[in-house]
Structure formats: structure tokens, C-alpha cells
Amino acid sequence: MNSDQNTSASPKSSLNLSLQDRNTFGFDASAELAYDITAANQIPAVIEQITQKKLPWRVLGGGSNVILPKVLPGVTLLMNIVGQEIIASNADSTLIAVGGGVNWHDFVAWTLDKDLPGLENLALIPGTVGAAPIQNIGAYGVEIGEYIDSVEAFDSKSHVFVTLTKDACQFAYRDSYFKKNPHRYIVTKVVFKIPKQWQARIHYADLAKQFFRQSSPSPEDIFLAVCKIRTHKLPDPKVIGNAGSFFQNPIVPGKQYDTLLQKHPGLVSYPDATGKRKLAAGWLIDQCGFKGQRMGNVGVYEKQALVLVNHGNGTAQDILRFAKCIQDKVQKEFGVSLDIEPNIL
């Protein structure tokens, strides 16, 4: 995939560009100055200009994991680098290069069309491919970091393009080297390594229920099941504004988990790779009585307590104020801190 072909090094720019359709919360936000980035070679000159003028800046992909204020000052880079192609294949695996602006769900569907299963558990996660490694997106027992070979990005600190190997990306639960170094790297391309040996991963409760009579589902079966589950649990942003899971599932030491379990026998949790326990944040919020509750123009989704929604005319301030109420109540009831998952710009 060569995202620089047939593309001018001067990206299209817009003043006071509305971002209402570029953030899944549907907040009435705008960018003071926006650049439409359609090729990696457009980035160096723009970043040089931003640096010289000392302007604030950020990258915006699909806007599915962000909380936008009324006005984004300075420069907003709209990540629109597209394209995907198989670049290598051997007996063990296939390498696929994908542009940072490609829609994530569309890419997952494309891999199945090409008979390259592995990512089906991550179907219907909103956002772009470029944002996936930053957050190390995950769902139903699978994290994207497992399938990444390398990430190409522009380093705004040293003003050069760099390629980070999987190990250099330092993937952890909802974390990565990019997240630890915010505002430094602009992800332009992700190379995925899809193993030829495929195995169904249906141990997560929701998927296990779907397939309790079917011991060997196909990748397509799992893809459709994940889409069905997510559609049932999560509201469509086109219908009601949201950013999916608003809080991370907190991870607690075994001793704290044992104490909580004694007090709350119904506590929902999952074992963590490190021997700790990952608690279901949605369950904690639900137990505090927030599911379906509303505060002005924002609220908690009636079918899933982990999702905060914009009922219309809500603002970033509204959603963060409500989130603080939830965090305080969960801390008081369970002694557990909830971290916000979307990026607050």
C-alpha cells in the first residue's frame, strides 16, 4: 500500500470546520483550522508549520473515542489515509498494510472476504485503523496488539517517519507506547500479521452463550455473532450519540478481589493475564443504580451501564460532570477507581 501515490503534498485546509459528524457523541464542535490528510507525505510540512507558529494541534480519526469541546483551537489533522493490501505471505502468516484512515469494521470485514480470519472478535468496533494500536482496542477476549507486526508513524518530536515493531509498541490492556507518549506520534500505516493457523475464540461469556450448541463456529459465524451482540448492547451513534464503552474495566489485586467478592457475591470479573482480576465496570455502575439514568441532555444507556449517551444538545462538560458522579459513587460503594476510556480533547 503506497498512500503517497498520486497525492499532492499540500492537503486541503478548512477554517471553522464543523466536527459534529466527526465525533460519535454528536457534540456540536468545530475545528478552528482543519487539514484533510490523505497521504503520509503531507504531514511533515504541516507539522513544521504548526511548530514554527507554536499552534496547538491534534489528530482526529473517526471521532469514536473522543470527547470534543465546543471549539478545537489551532490545527486539527483529519486522518483520511486509506487503502489496504497484502504485502507478504508465507506458510505461517500473512502481512497486510493498512492506511491509518481506513474504517476499522470495514477492514475486519475485508480480511474475512480475503479468507484471512483472526480479527472477527473485533467486529463493529467504531473508529479507524490508525487509532486501533494507540488504544490497543480489544473485545471478547482478543486485543489488536496480538495481530500487529509494526506501526508506521510520523514522530512530531524528531520530525521523521519511524516504524515501531510490535514489541516497541509496548501493548498492554487499553495501553501502548503511543498512549504513553501522547501528542507525539501520528499513525499513518499499520502492518498486521495474521496467522494461517486459525482457532475460534469464543470463551467470553456472551460468545459462549451464542455457541453453546455449536462447538466449531466459522470465522464468519463469530463475526456475525459479535455484530449481533454489539448491536443489541450498544446504541447506534447515528441514532443516539455515544463513544461505546466510556470506562475501562478496572483491574484489582487478588486480595482486593477476594474482599469485594465476600461483600458482593454477584461480582462480575474475569482473570487477568498477570494474575489479577478485571472487574466489569458496567456491573459496578449498574449496581449503583445508574443504568438508564439521565442528567439533563446526557445519561447512561438503558441496555448497557458502561455506555454514556448524548440525548441531544449535550456537551463535553455535561458528559464529564455526569461521569464524575458515577466515578464518585463507584469509589464510595466498592473502593474502586474508574478510568475514562475516551480521549478528552
pLDDT tens-digit readout, 28-45: 999 999 999 999 999 999
Q: Which of 45, 60, 79 is the last residue of a domain?
A: 79
Q: How does pLDDT run across 82-101, given as a tens digit for each residue?
A: 999 999 999 999 999 999 99
Say whether both 270 and 287 belong to one domain. yes
Q: Which of 162, 179, 195 is the last residue of a domain?
A: 195
- What domain count does the chain have? 3
Say whether both 64 and 128 belong to one domain. no
In a domain, 207, yes or no: no
C-alpha–C-alpha distance, residues 147 and 94, integer Å: 10
Q: How does pLDDT run across 223-265, given as a tens digit for each residue?
A: 999 999 999 888 999 899 999 999 999 999 999 999 999 999 9
In a domain, 162, yes or no: yes
In a domain, 5, yes or no: no
- For β-strands 12-18 and 30-37, DSSP reports them as antiparallel
Say whether both 178 and 266 belong to one domain. no
C-alpha–C-alpha distance, residues 307 and 293, integer Å: 11
Does the pLDDT at position 156 exceed 90? yes
Domain holding 93, by residue range, is 84-195
For residue 201, the model assigns a pLDDT of: 95
In a domain, 218, yes or no: no
Say whether both 266 and 327 belong to one domain. yes
Say whether both 59 and 34 belong to one domain. yes
For residue 3, the model assigns a pLDDT of: 46
Does the pLDDT at position 145 exceed 80? yes
Q: Which of 136, 166, 195 is the last residue of a domain?
A: 195
Say whether both 69 and 101 belong to one domain. no
Say whether both 99 and 153 belong to one domain. yes
In a domain, 236, yes or no: no
C-alpha–C-alpha distance, residues 104 and 102, integer Å: 6
202 close to 214: Cβ distance less than 8 angstroms: no
CATH at residue 283: 3.90.78.10
Q: What is the mean pLDDT of the chain?
A: 94
What predicted TM-score, i.e. pTM, was given to this entire model?
0.88
Q: How does pLDDT run across 258-275, given as a tens digit for each residue?
A: 999 999 999 999 888 788
Say whether both 65 and 89 belong to one domain. no
Catalytic residues: 174, 245, 341
